[in-house]
Amino acid sequence: MTTPPQGNFLSRLATVNPTTAFIVALAIFLGGLFLPGIIGAALLFVLGLGLAALTFTTWPIQSVPVRVIRGILLAMLFGAAIAKAISD
């Protein structure tokens, strides 16, 4: 079984409705915050991995201030996941 080319994945990802993507990401984020212990931390970690993959895929075309902000937000998300995991 072969993996599809990365360009194919990105072209399919570009067709996703932005509102739907936002609502799904928001639901995962809120689920991660409100679900107890390791389950919530796992959701936050999975969301962080997905956002990190998207961030580094688009890294070459972003300006430096956007890169800094995205890096800070990713660090905060992973920090929240770690805090959630060790708090319970």
pLDDT of residue 3: 55
Question: What is the average per-residue pLDDT within 62-82?
Answer: 94
Q: Any alpha helices (H) in the chain, and if so which ranges?
A: 6-14, 18-34, 37-57, 64-87
- Which pLDDT band holds residue 87 (cuts at 50, 70, 90)? confident
By C-alpha distance, which of 38, 47, 48 is closest to 85? 38
pLDDT, tens digit, 9 for 90 and up, residues 26-48: 999 999 999 988 999 999 999 99
